[in-house]
Amino acid sequence: MAIKLRSSGFVTLTCSSTISSITYSVTVPVTIGFLDIKLPGLDGLEICKKVRRRFSGPILMLTGLRSENDQLAGFNSGADAYISKPVHPRLIMARAEALLSLGLRRELRKNGPQSPGNAPDDESRRIDLKNLRLDAEDRSVTIGDDPVELTNSEFNLLWFLACRADETVSRRELFKCLRDHDWNGFDRSVDIAIMKLRKKLGDHGKRPRYIESVRGIGYKVNKN
């Protein structure tokens, strides 16, 4: 699972003991936590309860226990999602992205677009940039008449940039929205996410049509 997360742009930290998992949740800026129930020492349910007191991010239970009582115990301990093994890693990643996107949507509602020129209509919830259209109602993106398939996190990233078209958005701001904690100055997950997004949009980093790099600061979406 850690390998799959790293290949998707996450920086991962694995814990070899129950004590380290509790310690890291306090001392390290964690974005999302994955827990099994059957663990040596404290079980995953007890760890979840202890971690939840200090950690507000999403926690996903990934375990071989399938009963209804086990699932209820997981949610009651503070987990946000419960997945029974065996399961394909792609489904785990999709669930993790959905959980992470909740934090970004809260951020968008709280710090939404202020400029009337950039703000989507309250009824249509659409943004048009050149031949690029974003529709928040069905979370769709089209270039001309061609649909662009984006993940939840990719749509959220593009929407956030589009709401602030022609404005430079720092990596720190983008990281805060994507990961819901402060950027440490070294994590490259925002740059990796932008690279993947550009590829799907048919954009080129050196000759950008939609997403422009602002050296040393971050990125901006060009309105015209």
Q: Is residue 133 part of a domain?
A: yes
**Is residue 100 included in any domain, yes or no?**
no
Strand ranges (DSSP E) for the chain?
Answer: 33-35, 59-63, 81-84, 126-129, 132-135, 140-143, 146-148, 169-170, 211-214, 218-221
pLDDT above 80 (res 70): yes
- Sheet order of strands, 146-148 included: 126-129, 132-135, 140-143, 146-148
Is 127 in the same domain as 217? yes
92 inside domain: no
Of the listed ranges 61-75, 107-121, 172-186, the least confidently predicted one is: 107-121
Q: Strands 140-143 and 146-148: what pairing?
A: antiparallel
Q: What is the pLDDT of residues 81-90, one digit of tens each?
A: 899 988 888 8
Measured between alpha carbons, how far is residue 144 from residues 132, 140, 147, 166, 207 in Å? 7, 13, 8, 21, 20
Residue 114: the pLDDT is 38
**What Å distances lie between residue 131 and 144, 146, 158, 161, CA to CA?**
5, 10, 14, 16
Q: Are strands 132-135 and 126-129 parallel, antiparallel or unpaired?
A: antiparallel
Alpha-carbon distances, residue 96 vs 48, 62, 66, 88, 181 (angstroms):
17, 11, 19, 13, 16
CA nearest to 193, candidates 9, 1, 6, 2: 9
- Regarding whether 161 and 216 lie in a shared domain, the answer is yes
Residues 133 and 66 in one domain: no
User: Is residue 96 included in any domain, yes or no?
Assistant: no
Label the pairing between strands 169-170 and 211-214.
unpaired
pLDDT at 180 over 70: no
Given a cut of 90, whether residue 141 has pLDDT beyond it is: yes
pLDDT for the residue 147? 94
Averaged pLDDT for residues 105-117: 45
Amino acid 96: pLDDT: 81
Any idea what the CATH number is for the domain that residue 144 is in?
1.10.10.10
| pLDDT recorded at residue 120 | 41
Q: In terms of DSSP bridges, do strands 146-148 and 132-135 run parallel, antiparallel, or are they unpaired? A: unpaired
- Domain coverage including residue 66: 2-87
Considering the domain architecture, whether residues 213 and 125 belong to the same structural domain is answered as yes
104 in a structural domain: no
pLDDT category of residue 168 using cuts at 50, 70 and 90: confident
**Residue 24 pairs with which residues in a beta bridge?**
none
The average pLDDT across 20-28 equals: 58
Measured distance CA(187)–CA(23) in Å, rounded? 21
With H, G, I as helix, E, B as strand and everything else as coil, classify residue 121.
coil
Between 17 and 7, the more confident residue is 7
User: Cα separations (Å) of 8 from 110, 188, 190?
Assistant: 27, 11, 11
Higher per-residue confidence, 138 vs 25: 138
Selected residue with higher pLDDT from 113 and 56: 56
Q: How many domains does the chain divide into?
A: 2
Specify if 65 maps to a domain: yes
**164: in domain:** yes
